[in-house]
């Protein structure tokens, strides 16, 4: 009860902040019943009259509510199926920036996490240079003279998130219990996904592992790099990596002034992202321009690996096939890919689905390739699939959200970048490697490995089958034999069951007698 009251109070406060920012003004009043429309008008009396831009009302309210709500907003930006295109676009602009906490607190947290004095760990540790909802970053120098970046969690952030997530779960349970439309959106599952994401992001050892994994994936790629984690100076709440010297892509003027090739950089951003997603199935899911730097030699370097995305081989084939199918205007093939992947129920019509896809693809033929957004194409595709009962695929939604960000970064560097021309070599290479002769050979090799493992285990399988057959034959000839201990245990259980049954029988008889007596009196 106390827990429920605490959550209700916290949600009431959130509702007040939403009302002050005018968030409820974004609700379509005409779609509500009369009583709800009256309540909406009453709530809107709390709005501030400061002319706040409609596109920033929700993001402003979430920022005021703190770290947990900022993360909730960023997460919902990837779920257009829940919040719709308009709000998803607004939330995608939500900036995860907060004031830094003081230097002394940061030093104490780092020293405690690494169980050593700061003076023993570092030759120098500077003030914070960037701060977000979960952590902030300092520049430091190791005792061996290496320049490093040190990321440290905000004090108390785990406890704060735990309380807020508890309230999110409470709201989700209430929504599923009392709102039939809300059940289709599965709010409890949404909050569970957010909770898992936050737990991963708040264990900085996992971020170090993500950096290490991507470093292995891109080790042979020219023009792209990641920092190297310093495992000695890394713990659950602290992450140290080597320092990255470069210009952030957010500072376009500085990038131009340094003489970098802007069209090449734009193409590089798109190609590397697609290569990571399609070839490796592991991509940076927060690849905005503040997390990308250009080194002096023109290489791209990514930082902040707290949010990562994964695609299974089936997801990667799906992505490549639909991009290729739309390029070739083969809508039936794109439709069939959805059915083959199991994303659309077999009860739907492939031909009808292909017709809906044509409604997306044909208008693209009237535009130049430079005007076509792959991310928007995927977004429209997910809208159509909802009409055909396609279950939400969170990994694909995250991919589409990241593609929106990556395309924005590329077009900011080169407004004339041709997304299809730039992407074609990566898509074609993946198709040739996975769907061509090389791919068939690889599939055959994997099948041979499976068959080999089965053949190796075959003698053991046959021996077990033979023992099972002998036991069955013995039971048929002589019946089932039990040892004395088992017989005694069965007897005790049966006796207990019999006593319980008798008690229940007497209770039932007495109850029936009482009812009968009351009836005839």
**Cα–Cα dist 144/184, whole Å:** 57
Mean pLDDT of 160-177: 87
**Is 48's pLDDT higher than 70?**
yes
Q: State the greatest distance between any 2 C-alpha atoms of the chain, in Å, as a whole number.
A: 105
- Per-residue pLDDT of 406-453, as tens digits, reads 888 898 899 888 877 888 888 888 888 887 544 444 444 444 444 445
Cα dihedral across residues 465, 466, 468, 472: positive or negative: positive
Q: What is the CATH number of domain 98-158+198-243?
A: 3.30.200.20
Q: Are 260 and 294 in contact (CB under 8 A)?
A: yes
**% of the chain with per-residue pLDDT over 90:** 29
At 262 the pLDDT is 95
460 contacts: CB under 8 Å, gap ≥ 6: none
**Is 263's pLDDT higher than 90?**
yes
**Is 155's pLDDT higher than 50?**
yes
Question: Which residues are the active-site residues?
Answer: 286
**Cα–Cα dist 283/402, whole Å:** 9
Q: Are 42 and 164 in contact (CB under 8 A)?
A: no
User: What is the three-class DSSP state of 91?
Assistant: helix
Residue 78 in tokens: 């990837």
Mean pLDDT of 241-262: 94
Q: Whose CA is closest to 155, among 136, 176, 140?
A: 136
User: What is the three-class DSSP state of 226?
Assistant: coil
**Cα–Cα dist 431/456, whole Å:** 33
Residue 140 in tokens: 């430091």
Give DSSP secondary structure letters for 445-502. HHHHHHHHHHHHHHHHHHHHHHHHHHHHHHHHHH-----HHHHHHHHHHHHHHHHHHH
The pLDDT-based confidence of 463 (bands split at 50, 70, 90) is low
Residue 441 in tokens: 């050979």
**Cα–Cα dist 139/150, whole Å:** 6
- Per-residue pLDDT of 328-362, as tens digits, reads 788 888 888 888 888 788 888 889 988 988 888 78
The residue count for the chain: 521
**Is 110's pLDDT higher than 60?**
yes
**Is 24's pLDDT higher than 80?**
no
User: What is the three-class DSSP state of 433?
Assistant: helix
The pLDDT-based confidence of 286 (bands split at 50, 70, 90) is confident
Q: Write out the H or E segment, with its range, that includes residue 325.
A: helix 313-328
Which range among 32-41, 49-58, 351-360 shows the weakest confidence by mean pLDDT? 49-58
**CA distances for 369 relative to 332, 360, 372, 491, angstroms:** 22, 15, 5, 80
Residue 475 in tokens: 């039971």
């Amino acid at each position: 009860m106390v827990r429920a009251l605490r959550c209700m109070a916290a949600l009431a406060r959130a509702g007040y902040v939403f009302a002050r920012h005018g968030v409820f003004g974004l609700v379509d009043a005409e779609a509500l019943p009369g009583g709800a429309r009256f309540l909406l008008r009453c709530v809107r009396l709390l709005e501030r009259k400061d002319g706040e831009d409609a596109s920033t009302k929700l993001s402003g309210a979430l920022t005021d509510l703190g770290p947990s709500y900022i993360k909730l907003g960023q997460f919902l930006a990837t779920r257009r199926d829940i919040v719709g295109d308009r709000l998803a676009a607004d939330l995608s602009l939500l900036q995860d920036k907060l004031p830094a906490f003081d230097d002394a607190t940061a030093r104490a947290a780092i020293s405690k996490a690494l169980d050593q004095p700061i003076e023993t760990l570092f030759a120098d540790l500077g003030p914070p240079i960037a701060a977000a909802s979960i952590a902030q970053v300092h520049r430091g120098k190791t005792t061996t003279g290496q320049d490093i970046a040190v990321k440290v969690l905000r004090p108390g952030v785990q406890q704060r998130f735990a309380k807020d997530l508890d309230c999110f779960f409470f709201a989700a349970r209430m929504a599923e219990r009392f709102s039939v439309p809300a059940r289709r959106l599965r709010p409890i599952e949404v909050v569970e996904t957010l909770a898992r994401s936050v737990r991963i992001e708040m264990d900085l050892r996992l971020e170090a592992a993500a950096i290490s994994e991507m470093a292995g994936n891109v080790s042979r790629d020219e023009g792209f790099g990641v920092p190297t984690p310093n495992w000695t100076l890394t713990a659950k709440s602290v992450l140290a990596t080597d320092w990255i010297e470069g210009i952030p892509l957010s500072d376009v003027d500085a990038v131009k002034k340094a003489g970098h090739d802007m069209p090449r950089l734009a193409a590089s951003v798109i190609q590397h992202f697609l290569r990571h997603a399609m070839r490796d199935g592991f991509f940076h899911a927060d690849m905005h321009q503040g997390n990308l730097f250009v080194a002096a030699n023109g290489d791209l370097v990514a930082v902040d690996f707290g949010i990562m995305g994964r695609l299974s081989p089936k997801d990667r084939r799906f992505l490549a096939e639909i991009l290729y199918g739309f390029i070739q205007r083969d809508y039936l093939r794109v439709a069939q890919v959805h059915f083959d992947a199991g994303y659309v129920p077999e009860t739907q019509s492939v031909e009808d689905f292909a017709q809906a896809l044509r409604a997306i693809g044909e208008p693209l033929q009237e535009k130049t390739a430079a005007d076509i957004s792959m991310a928007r194409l995927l977004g429209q595709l997910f809208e159509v699939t909802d009409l055909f009962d396609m279950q939400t695929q969170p990994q694909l939604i995250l991919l589409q959200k990241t593609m929106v960000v990556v395309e924005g970064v590329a077009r900011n560097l080169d407004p004339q970048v041709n997304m299809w021309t730039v992407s074609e070599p990566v898509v074609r290479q993946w198709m040739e490697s996975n769907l061509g002769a090389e791919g068939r050979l690889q599939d055959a090799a994997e099948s041979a490995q499976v068959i080999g493992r089965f053949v190796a285990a075959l003698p053991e399988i046959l021996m077990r089958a033979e023992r099972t057959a002998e036991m069955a034959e013995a039971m048929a000839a002589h019946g089932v034999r039990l040892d004395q201990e088992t017989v005694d245990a069965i007897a005790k259980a049966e006796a207990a069951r019999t006593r319980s049954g008798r008690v229940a029988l007497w209770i039932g008889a007495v109850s029936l007698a009482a009812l009968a007596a009351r009836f005839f009196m």
